[in-house]
């Protein structure tokens, strides 16, 4: 039986289309401001977000999904996986599956299982971070060292910096160029190398996308494929056409950010799967798995903005990403980490609340200067954009100090 959607989801909306009536999930700690994944190449200034649904009991859909996960027969799912892989496995040892990633714990576990447990022949595909952290570079190397071929597509860095700057200026979303490549590149490599099967590790839908996205093994291709009409594709909030006429970029500069061609995907019969559908998956166990089976290392210290050490640590822009997320939606890195750990029963809700109160929204000082330099933005401009991005239903200013109006308790 599906629970009725909470009325608050449909009531008045504020900036970014967020519900103005702020609520926190009674079971985990996420708020109803959390946006679902969106189709990035359609994202423009003023776009409304779909946000996570809360049911009439005040429980979020990610928690309901976690509940549902407990009833899954994982033995049977593994059988499904084995059966499916048997149709794709190459007999001559040539590549038979594309595994995207940059050497974080999820891609490490996915590649390792596919090769060493299920006998596949993966080709790793990497869309590299904007600016590698030392840990990120090291973990990437450790990943390849466990016995894989890797294709890295390094984009034109001049174009990449410009798009990062535009994404920050227009959308306060500096991580967007990374997300675009992360979703688009692997299906395109599938076409180029004629390897129809693509496997991601975790389904990001676990964190509060529509539950129906989560109940299938295959990723909806609207996230990575579209007719490539340049006036209808937006990067950093600017149409691809305008990037060519007004910003001096060429078609080849833009190529890595464009969605895959659906007709070519059809020809290759590309299918994008999640290993998390077939194998029980959570960030903490992916971390332990990576440490046990490869030379993966966590952050040497607590990650700024959270209490954790191993989530999203390979790109210095990640620190900005979580901070801008906190400004726009009132949800920081600690909330994201804690909500997921409560759902996976690694943390109690009361502990999560304390950790969030302590660390959420901590200023990303460590890579601050480097990130500004990367984007070519002054400190003053940074604060101007940040303060304009604060929705009035979430933030108030008292004596020059910005405070969240609603906090988890």
Q: Which residues bind Zn ion (CB under 5 A)?
A: 25, 27-28, 60, 63
Nearer to Zn ion, 201 or 208 (CB): 208
- Smallest distance, Å, CB 64 to Zn ion? 8
339, with CB counted inside 10 A (0-12, 13-18, 19+), is buried
**Could you tell me which of 115, 96, 112 has the C-alpha nearest to residue 104?**
112
- Smallest distance, Å, CB 161 to Zn ion? 37
CB of 344 within 8 A of CB of 282? yes
Number of H helices, E strands in the chain: 17, 9
Nearer to Zn ion, 66 or 110 (CB): 66
- Smallest distance, Å, CB 58 to Zn ion? 9
d(CA 22, CA 13): 10
What letter would DSSP give residue 91? S
Nearer to Zn ion, 37 or 126 (CB): 37
**Residue 23, token pair as written in the block:** 């609520």
Residue in this structure with the two tokens 């890295």, named with its chain if needed: 152
d(CA 315, CA 131): 5
d(CA 73, CA 53): 26
Nearer to Zn ion, 53 or 168 (CB): 53
Nearer to Zn ion, 28 or 394 (CB): 28
- Beta partners for 398? 401
**Residue 63, token pair as written in the block:** 């928690």
d(CA 147, CA 311): 23
Pairing of strands 271-274, 97-100: unpaired
- Smallest distance, Å, CB 215 to Zn ion? 18
Nearer to Zn ion, 28 or 377 (CB): 28
Nearer to Zn ion, 60 or 275 (CB): 60
Each residue of 91-115: b (16+ CB within 10 Å) or e?
Answer: eeeebbbbbbbbbbbbbbbbbbbbb
- Smallest distance, Å, CB 343 to Zn ion? 6
- Smallest distance, Å, CB 24 to Zn ion? 9
- Smallest distance, Å, CB 284 to Zn ion? 17
Nearer to Zn ion, 350 or 384 (CB): 350
- Smallest distance, Å, CB 337 to Zn ion? 14
d(CA 109, CA 373): 34
CB of 55 within 8 A of CB of 23? no
- Report the Cα 374 to chain-centroid distance in Å: 21
């Amino acid at each position: 039986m599906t629970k009725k959607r909470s009325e608050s989801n449909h009531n008045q909306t504020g900036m970014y289309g967020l519900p103005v009536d702020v609520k926190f999930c009674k079971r985990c700690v996420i708020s109803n401001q959390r946006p679902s994944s969106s189709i990035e190449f359609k994202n423009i200034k003023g776009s409304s977000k779909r946000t996570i649904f809360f049911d009439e009991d005040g429980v979020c859909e990610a928690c309901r999904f976690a509940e549902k996960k407990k009833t899954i027969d994982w033995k049977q799912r593994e059988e499904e996986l084995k059966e499916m892989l048997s149709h794709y496995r190459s007999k001559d040892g040539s590549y038979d599956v594309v595994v995207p990633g940059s050497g974080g714990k999820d891609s490490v576990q996915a590649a390792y299982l596919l090769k060493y447990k299920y006998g596949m022949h993966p080709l790793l595909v990497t869309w590299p971070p904007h600016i590698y952290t030392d840990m990120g570079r090291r973990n990437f190397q450790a990943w390849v060292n466990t016995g894989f071929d890797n294709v890295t597509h390094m984009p034109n860095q001049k174009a990449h910096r410009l798009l990062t700057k535009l994404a920050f200026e227009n959308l306060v979303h500096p991580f967007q160029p990374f997300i675009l490549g992360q979703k688009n590149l692997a299906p395109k490599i599938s076409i180029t190398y004629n390897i129809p099967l693509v496997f991601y590790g975790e389904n990001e839908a676990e964190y509060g996308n529509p539950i129906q996205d989560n109940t299938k093994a295959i990723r909806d291709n609207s996230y990575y494929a579209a007719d490539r009409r340049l006036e209808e594709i937006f990067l950093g909030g600017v149409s691809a056409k305008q990037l060519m006429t007004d910003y001096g970029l060429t078609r080849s500069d833009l190529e890595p950010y464009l969605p895959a061609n659906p007709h070519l995907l059809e020809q290759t019969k590309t299918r994008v799967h999640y290993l998390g559908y077939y194998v029980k998956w959570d960030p903490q166990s992916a971390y332990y798995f990576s440490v046990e089976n490869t030379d993966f290392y966590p952050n040497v210290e607590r990650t700024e903005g959270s209490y954790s050490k191993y989530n999203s640590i390979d790109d210095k822009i990640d620190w900005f990403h979580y901070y801008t997320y906190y400004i726009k939606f009132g949800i920081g890195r600690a909330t994201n980490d804690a909500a997921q750990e409560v759902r996976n029963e690694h943390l109690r809700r009361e502990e999560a609340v304390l950790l969030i109160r302590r660390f959420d929204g901590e200023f990303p000082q460590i890579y601050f200067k480097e990130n500004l330099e990367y984007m070519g933005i002054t400190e003053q401009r940074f604060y101007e954009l940040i303060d304009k991005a604060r929705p009035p239903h979430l933030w108030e200013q008292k004596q020059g100090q910005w405070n969240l109006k609603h906090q988890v308790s």
